[in-house]
Amino acid sequence: NMNLQIRKATIEDAETLAKIGWQSFHETFADHPANDPKDMKIYMDEAFSVESINSYLADEKIVFFVAELEDEMVGYAMLILNSRESGISGEKP
């Protein structure tokens, strides 16, 4: 019986978050024909660096939740509070 736990991330999670973020982004977008491999690597190395993740974790407007299965991080969600993408309407989408 596997036990999935969800918790708020801490600064101690930065390195693992960076690794999982890099891997999942690569698996999702690397094979898309519009993505140049060199550009992808440059973006990913910056966006998923431990330094970038630490700055996100320090930002009060950004919240990470991590999913752990048997005490191993298997995924995460990053929420940006009070943000809105263009084209999204509604008072509090």
| 74 close to 16: Cβ distance less than 8 angstroms | no
pLDDT at 11 over 80: yes
CB-neighbour burial class of residue 34 (10 A; exposed 0-12, middle 13-18, buried 19+) = exposed
What percent of the chain stands above pLDDT 90?
Answer: 75
Tens of pLDDT, residues 18-62 = 999 999 999 999 999 998 989 999 999 999 999 999 999 999 999
Quick one: which of 70, 52, 54 has its CA closest to 13? Answer: 54
